[in-house]
Amino acid sequence: MSVHFIDNSVFQDSVSTPRMRAAFDELAMFQRWLDVERAIAIASGELGIIPKSAAERIAAHANIAEIDIEAVKAHGKVTSHSLLGLLKDLRRAIGHDDARYVHWGATTQDIVDTGMMLMIRDGYAIIEEQLTETLRHARPLLKTYRDTVMVGRTHGGHALPITFGMKAAVWLDELGRQLQRWREAKDRILVVGIIGAVGTMASWGSSGFALQKRAAEILGLGAPISPWAASRDRIAETATLCALTSGTASRIAKEIYNLAKTEVREIEEPFTMGKVGSSTMPHKRNPVHTEWSIVLDRIIRADAGVALEAMGIENERDATHWKAEWVVIPEIFAMLSGSLAHLDATLSGLWVHPERMEKNTHMLKGLLLSERAMFVLAEKMPLPEAHEMVYQASVRAFDNDTALVDELMAEKGVAGICSRVEIEAALDPKGYVGVAGEIADGVGAHLDTLLATSGRVAAPLDALVK
C-alpha cells in the first residue's frame, strides 16, 4: 500500500496526473538509467573505447523488460548502493562476455544525474503542454468578458471599477510569462551529467568530450562545457521554475476561491451533478480544484527550498545534499502537474456571473467611484480641496450607509458648482474603466503569438503510462 498521496489509489489524481507519475515512477527511473548506459555504450563503441559488438549487445539488452526488479531490490538491500544491482542484472540479461563492458568508464552519478535529466525532460514537456493548453482554454475569457464591469479590489476592499476581461488578462499574462520561462531555460537545464568520477573524464582518455557529446546526441540532451556534479544550479533552477509556476496557479486559484464566496459569488469553479461538497451539508459546493492548487503550492515551494539547499555540495561531489534531489524533484513535478490540471479544469469551465458583478459595483452606493467624483469637483476647485470634500462625504456615507451623491450634494458649496445629474453620471461604474478593454485585447494578441509557436511538445511517455 502507498504511504504517499501521489501513489494513493483514491487521491493520486487529486495531487498529480497519470502522465507525470509515469515519467518519474520506479520503472521509468530504471529505464532512464538503462538509457544512459546504452548511450555511453554506443558512443564508446563508435569511438573505439569498447568493441562495437559489445556496444551493440549492451544496447540491445538495456531494456527494463529484461530486468528482474526484485533481484535489483535484493541486491540494494545488501550493498546499500543505488546502481550496482541494476548493473548486475543488466549483465545477467546480456549473458555474454561483452557484459564486462557495461558501465565502462562511468560513475554512478553519471547515470543517476543524466537519468534524472531525462525524467526532467519528460516532465518538462508535460508542464509546457499543460501551460499551453490552459492558456488556450482560458483565452476566450478575454474576449467574452472584455467589457464586463466588476469591482476592482485593493487591500481587501472595493477600490475602483475594472472589467473581468482585464482581471483574466492579468492572470493569463502571468501564466504566459511562466511558459516563456520554461522555454527559455530549457537548453540551459537539460544537459547530460556524463563526466566520470571527478569530472575529468580520464577513464575515456582523450575521447572524453567526444563521448560526452555523442552520448548527449543519442539521448537528446545538451552537452555541458564543464562538469556539474557539484554544481546543482540546473536542478535548483528547475525546482524554482516549478515553484514560480505553482505560485501563479495558486494565486489565480486563490482569487477564484475568494470571488466564489457566497457573499460575493462573482465567479466560481464549475459544478457537475454528482460532485459532493459535504458529507453532512447537502447544499455545499466546495471549491475542490482551487483548494488543491493552493494546497499543492505550499508543498512545491517547500520542496524548491530543499533543492536550493542541495546546491551546497562539497568538493567535486558528495551525496549529503545530492540525494535530497531524488526525493523532491519527482514530487515537485508530480504535484505541479496536478496543480495545473486543477487550474485548467477551473478556467476552462469557469462559471462567471456578470449580474453579481454589476450588483456588487453598486454595493457601496457610489463610493466605488469616489475618485471620479473628486476629479469632477477638481475641475471647479483645487484638487486638495476636492479630495477633502469627497473624503468627508465618503466618511458620512460609510458611517450612515447612505449614497455618496446625497452626501456630496449636502456638502456646502457643491450644489453651486455641480448638479446632481453631473455627480450621478460620474458615479456610473461603466463609465470609469479606463483602458481595461485595451489591456484584455493586448494580452489576447500577445497570447495568440505565444501560442502560435507552441504545439504539443513531444515526450516519449506513452509507453510508460500504466
Determine how many CB atoms are found less than 10 A away from the CB of residue 226: 7
Cβ contacts of 234 within 8 Å, gap of 6 or more = 188, 189, 191, 228
* Cα-trace Rg, the chain: 30
- Residues 333, 37: Cα–Cα separation, whole Å: 24
Other CB atoms within 10 Å distance of the CB of residue 421:
9
Q: Does the active-site annotation cover 155?
A: yes
Non-local CB neighbours of 187 within 8 Å, separated by 6+ positions: 222
| Residue of 2, 81, 96, 278 marked catalytic | 278
Dist CA 229 CA 68 (whole Å): 29
Q: How far apart are CA 395 and CA 372, in angstroms?
A: 16
How is residue 285 written as a grid cell? 459546493
* Side chain identity, residue 9: S
CA 201 from centre of chain: 36
User: Using CA atoms, how far apart are residues 55 and 38, in angstroms rounded to an integer?
Assistant: 8
Q: How far apart are CA 180 and CA 171, in angstroms?
A: 15
CA distance 139 to 146: 11
Q: Which of 9, 155, 206, 283 is catalytic?
A: 155
Q: Are strands 351-352 and 157-163 parallel, antiparallel or unpaired?
A: unpaired
Q: Tell me the catalytic residues.
A: 155, 278
